């Protein structure tokens, strides 16, 4: 594992990785294709580089082996979301996603005409509503040091991307943070401290490029009470952000999408109106072996976002659609055991 201590090491690591990766060099030397700047139809593919490294092969519907990103693009995907961990392990499914790997994948995706979102977890592994653990290197830091950590980590990764010609369109400051991040200091039990941490991520992002839009992201996108509580508190504590990001997983809510899709649409509309913000579904997923239900859920989710008035509904991103179950153990991908995408992803086609 390559641990990034400063920007010089990060760029040196990047040069090593790209020089050893002929596929990435091919993307660097190619002429960029046109970028689709319309409705966001996205895929979070944080597992992709690991899948490829372990020899996993991807096939289109006709059975032809292809680059996974090309297969996704052929389904209408125009945006790639990538998570960043600080000093991750080499674990196949719960590691990798360090800064250098993220830069390589972002460059590769951009050269294929994809828009880029960077998702900062501010952890060495998964951060979500049940766990928001500090990176090991930050565990003993004072609060003022944590503020500097968030700023420097965010800034350094974005500068590394900018050095190779990638400026993300969006940056997430934290991942699914209804309880805050960087516990305990950044817990929602300590809103003034959480607000300062979030604002450091915002400030670092805007210092790199003011046009990058900053997202604050919660789970249970159908839960209006949760979202009002969090974003009312954020407003009271002067949190700076541009977009409200939502996850929507009927599987984890333990209800069919037909029972909650109206609540999702109402919450999207309420967030846009109440806080005068754009909104986006930054994570969605359905059961890979219930293809029609997942297709219908995804189609309904896209429609709900498009129904937000004044074009404030920006798009929908499927989480790890290529993360096929036999490789990942994850049951909410949109990929079959034959290495092909399921028809669920056809919901992204115009």
Active site residues: 176, 283
Calpha distance 150→153 (Å, rounded): 5
Residue 183 contacts residue 176 (beta carbons within 8 Å):
no
**How far does Cα 349 stand from its chain's mean position?**
21
Residue 313 contacts residue 272 (beta carbons within 8 Å):
yes
CA-angle at 300, arms to 174 and 232, nearest 5°:
40
Tokens of 237: 């504590």
CA distances from 289 to 69, 170, 259, 332 (A): 22, 31, 20, 9
Calpha distance 18→100 (Å, rounded): 10
Tokens of 316: 């929908």
Cα-based torsion angle of the residue sequence 97, 193, 133, 103 in order, rounded to the nearest 10 degrees: 0
User: At 344, is the secondary structure helix, strand, or coil?
Assistant: helix
Calpha distance 135→143 (Å, rounded): 14
User: At 139, is the secondary structure helix, strand, or coil?
Assistant: coil
**How far does Cα 97 stand from its chain's mean position?**
12
Calpha distance 252→120 (Å, rounded): 22
Tokens of 279: 């909104």
């Amino acid at each position: 594992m390559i641990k990034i201590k400063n920007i010089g090491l990060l760029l040196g690591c990047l040069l090593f990785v790209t020089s050893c990766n002929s596929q990435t060099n091919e993307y660097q030397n190619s002429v960029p294709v046109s970028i689709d700047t319309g409705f966001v139809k996205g895929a979070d593919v944080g597992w992709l580089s690991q899948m490829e490294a372990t020899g996993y092969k991807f096939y289109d519907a006709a059975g032809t082996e292809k680059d996974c990103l090309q297969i996704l693009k052929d389904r209408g995907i125009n945006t790639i979301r990538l998570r960043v961990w600080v000093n991750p392990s080499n674990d196949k499914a719960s590691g990798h996603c360090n800064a250098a790997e993220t830069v390589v994948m972002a460059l590769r995706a951009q050269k294929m005409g994809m828009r880029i979102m960077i998702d900062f977890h501010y952890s060495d592994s998964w951060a979500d509503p049940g766990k928001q653990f500090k990176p090991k290197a930050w565990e003993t830091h004072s609060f003022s040091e944590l503020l500097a950590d968030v700023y420097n980590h965010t800034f350094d990764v974005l500068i590394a991307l900018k050095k190779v010609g990638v400026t993300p369109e969006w940056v997430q400051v934290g991942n699914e943070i209804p309880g805050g991040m960087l516990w305990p200091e950044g817990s929602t039990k300590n809103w003034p401290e959480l607000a300062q941490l979030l604002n450091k991520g915002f400030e670092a992002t805007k210092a790199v490029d003011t046009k990058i839009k900053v997202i604050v992201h919660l789970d249970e996108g159908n839960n209006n009470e949760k979202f009002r509580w969090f974003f009312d508190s954020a407003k009271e504590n002067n949190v700076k952000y541009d977009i409200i990001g939502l996850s929507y997983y009927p599987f984890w809510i333990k209800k069919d999408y037909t029972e909650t899709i109206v609540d999702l649409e109402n919450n999207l509309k309420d967030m846009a109106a109440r806080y005068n913000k754009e909104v986006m579904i930054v994570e969605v997923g359905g059961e890979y072996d219930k293809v029609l239900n997942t297709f219908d859920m995804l189609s309904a989710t896209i429609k709900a976002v498009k129904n937000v008035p004044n074009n404030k509904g920006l798009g929908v991103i499927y989480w790890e659609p290529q993360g096929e179950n036999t490789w990942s153990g994850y049951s909410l991908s949109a990929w079959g055991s034959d290495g092909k995408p399921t028809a669920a992803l056809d919901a992204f086609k115009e």
